[in-house]
Copies of this chain bind each other. A is one copy, B any other.
Amino acid sequence: MEFTANQIAALIGGNIEGNGDIKVSKLAKIEEATAGSLTFLSHPKYVPYLKTSGASVIIITEGITDEKSTATLIKVKDSRQAFTTLMEAYHKQQFAKTGIEEHTNISPKATLAKDVYIGSFTYIGEHTTIADGARIYPNVYIAENCKIGKNCIIYPGVKVYRDSVIGDNCTLHSGVVIGSDGFGFVPNDENNYRKMPQVGNVVIENNVEIGSNTTIDRATMGSTVIHKGVKLDNLIQIGHNVEIGENTVIAAQSGVAGSTKIGRDCMIGGQVGIVGHLTIGDRVKIAAQSGIGSSVADDSVLQGSPALDHFDYKKAYVIFRRLPELRQKIKELESKIESLTISK
């Protein structure tokens, strides 16, 4: 794809400064851009790149600088937002696929909306419905009795077990598993575990994005629920009967054990572990690698394993580093007291 500066300016409502006919065919960061690239400049600290960047066209926030550039400038109110808008347009081009490819197994009892894409080697079970605009890539498995909402993007290799409900505008990346059995076993007298059948399901609301190889287990009974707007990174584990509140984001490789409820607008770092049957409040922030072993009030900020208030953790950890020094001081105190006692 190739666009002129004029075409881009029209799309984002900007003013041209320089040659409007120059063409760009790729997107780049300002410090890495070469001829034929489009980039943007929104933060004052990148202004020096205005002179050195090889970009052909730079979308720039008005008023950020008066410096000139050999590149064509497109001046807009918020260059970052404008650039994101452009990237979205570019990105949508990637998803132009429609129709049903060869080598699929779609149950005659499944219901597919008109405008869907179903890739090769994809399996769709009976009584499953796929809503308008959904794009199901190759090698996907969607079991019986599932619902896939409008405009969902299901990347190659996603597996969705029976009875799962996925809202509109959700994105599931490759290798995601939805609705596998929760980890429920009851020991008997000989420690031969009896499996608790997991007869619940998973419900994912609208606008949820789930990263590659993340796993979300079905509920024992009832539902594991991911509320709207939640963003999960790669390789995350969500146990059975967990509930995650609206717009909470969780970074890669974190795990949430069974039946824990997490509030809304939380920000949870990578490799965090949260044990089961807890309640985590709203707007809670948890530092990477923390371990949460008890319920947490709204607006808490936590760090450590087991986690403390993050200030308390940092203060304690500073002294942890200096423990050898501290022990030395105690030894010195001991000998001083010894000599005081003797001299007395």
Task: Give residues in A with beta carbon < 8 Å to B.
Answer: 27-29, 32, 84, 87-88, 90-91, 94, 101-103, 105, 119-121, 123, 137-139, 141, 143, 155-157, 159, 161-162, 171, 173-175, 177, 180-181, 183, 185-186, 191-199, 207, 209, 211-213, 215, 217, 221-222, 229, 231, 233-235, 237, 239, 247, 249, 251-253, 255, 257, 265, 270-271, 273, 275, 288-289, 291, 293, 305-306, 308, 312, 315-317, 319-324, 326-327, 329-330, 333-334, 336-337, 340-341, 343-344
Please state if B213 and A215 are interface contacts (CB–CB under 8 Å): yes
What are 15 sample pairs from A and B whose C-beta atoms fall under 8 A apart? A88-B197, A91-B197, A101-B105, A141-B174, A174-B180, A175-B175, A177-B234, A185-B231, A235-B237, A235-B255, A239-B252, A275-B288, A308-B321, A316-B321, A333-B337
Chain A interface mostly helix, strand, loop or mixed? loop
Please state if A229 and B103 are interface contacts (CB–CB under 8 Å): no
Please state if B173 and A177 are interface contacts (CB–CB under 8 Å): yes
Query: Which residue from B94, B221, B249, B273 sits with its C-beta under 8 Å from A162?
Result: B94
Residues in B with CB closer than 8 Å to A252 are: 183, 237, 239, 255, 257
Please state if B344 and A343 are interface contacts (CB–CB under 8 Å): yes
Q: In the complex where A175-B159, A199-B27, A237-B235 touch, is A329 in contact with B330 (Cβ < 8 A)? A: yes
Query: Which residue from B155, B215, B288, B319 sits with its C-beta under 8 Å from A159?
Result: B155
Chain B nearest CB from A68 CB (Å) reads 25
Please state if A229 and B333 are interface contacts (CB–CB under 8 Å): no
Chain B nearest CB from A293 CB (Å) reads 8
Q: In the complex where A305-B289, A320-B320 touch, is A212 in contact with B211 (Cβ < 8 A)? A: no
Chain B nearest CB from A232 CB (Å) reads 9
Q: In the complex where A288-B291, A336-B337 touch, is A177 in contact with B265 (Cβ < 8 A)? A: no
Please state if A237 and B215 are interface contacts (CB–CB under 8 Å): no
Please state if B180 and A155 are interface contacts (CB–CB under 8 Å): yes
Bound together, the chains give a CA A185 to CA B210 distance in angstroms of 12
Chain B minimum-CB-distance residue to A323: B319
Q: In the complex where A215-B235, A316-B320 touch, is A181 in contact with B177 (Cβ < 8 A)? A: no
Residues in B with CB closer than 8 Å to A312 are: 321
Bound together, the chains give a CA A324 to CA B323 distance in angstroms of 11
Please state if B233 and A235 are interface contacts (CB–CB under 8 Å): no
Q: In the complex where A186-B84, A257-B252 touch, is A139 in contact with B162 (Cβ < 8 A)? A: no
Query: Which residue from B123, B207, B334 sits with its C-beta under 8 Å from A138?
Result: B123
Q: In the complex where A29-B221, A209-B195, A213-B213 touch, is A291 in contact with B291 (Cβ < 8 A)? A: no
Please state if B192 and A229 are interface contacts (CB–CB under 8 Å): yes
